[in-house]
Amino acid sequence: MDIFTLEPGHAPLLVSLPHDGTRIPEALAARMTPAARAAPDTDWFVSRLYAFARELGASILRPHHSRYVVDLNRPPDDVSLYPGQNTTGLCPDVRFTGEPVYLPEEAPDATEIAERRERYWRPYHDALAGELARLREHFGRVVLWDGHSIRGTLPFLFEGRLPDLNLGTASGASCSPALQSRLTGVLENQRDYSHVVNGRFKGGHITRHYGAPAEGVEAIQLELAQSTYMDEDSATFLPERARKLERTVLRPLLEAALEFAAS
């Protein structure tokens, strides 16, 4: 089945975009609310935003299916990543607004969730682990960059407005202190965007599970407020805004990560 696209690179950097997919099988969409069928919680245009990473030699991994089919950044046992806070699960039954994904009595049961995990979640993670192993064998050390974006205001998930740039390293556990310091320096050396390190979004399952700096895998998550590169209300990509974000922040961050991996 056509689950993901992996573009192998030639540098010690893997960019994972686990919420870039929009595909929802027709039979599944028929069970969803009309609003959910449009997959509104997609990390819109992140593959377009990170397209420049190919120039840096990065490998790029992106799924084809929506996070409503299965959330690739959740653990397979669906244990909450943020205990005590509102969040969404492995096969979400609520949207980021708190509204239902499914029509009454149509949410998946445990058997269906297990089937989706094997059909969609497992192949993506097998590919991710395999590419990390290939790069680490060749370079010794590799950076896994997990790229995300989200609406800047979502009261169901967080209070107030989210900072523009949300860097997560599992509170420092998923990457080396020296790399976190370099990346934090990039954020601090610009004045166009607000930022936080290990705030509301500290890194999901991918960052936490694969990050093992002592074993040569440095994992970082960047959650972007979508207003930094698009119009959130109309879901319209804004090229000039995106180019500014790339030039000011995204490219310098990935270049700093690559320099660290090679040092």
Q: Residue 89 burial by CB count (10 A; 0-12/13-18/19+): exposed, middle or buried?
A: middle
Delimit the domains of the chain by residue range.
4-262
- 83 vs 41 pLDDT, higher one: 41
Q: Indicate the CATH number of 4-262 among 3.40.630.40, 2.40.37.10, 2.40.50.140, 3.10.20.90.
A: 3.40.630.40
Question: Is the pLDDT reported for residue 113 higher than 90?
Answer: yes
- Size (the chain), residues: 263
Average pLDDT for 58-83: 95
How many whole angstroms separate alpha carbon 95 and alpha carbon 156?
A: 9
- 65 vs 86 pLDDT, higher one: 65
* pLDDT for 1: 62
* pLDDT for 84: 82
User: Tokens representing 135?
Assistant: 């790069």
User: Tokens representing 40?
Assistant: 């509104």
- 85 vs 145 pLDDT, higher one: 145
Band (pLDDT 50/70/90 cuts) for residue 240 is very high
Average pLDDT for 109-129: 98
- What percent of the chain is predicted at pLDDT more than 70? 100
* pLDDT for 85: 86
- 150 vs 84 pLDDT, higher one: 150
* pLDDT for 86: 85
* Cα–Cα separations (whole angstroms), residue 205 to 95, 157, 222: 19, 17, 13
The reported pTM is 0.97
Q: Residue 153 — φ and ψ, nearest 5°?
A: -130, 115
- Residue that has been written with the tokens 């990039």 in this structure: 186
Question: Is the pLDDT reported for residue 62 higher than 80?
Answer: yes
Q: Over the chain, what is the mean pLDDT?
A: 97
Query: Which distant-in-sequence residues (6+ apart) come within 8 Å of 197 by Cβ?
Result: 167, 168, 169, 180, 184, 187
- Per-residue pLDDT tens over the stretch 173-186: 999 999 999 999 99
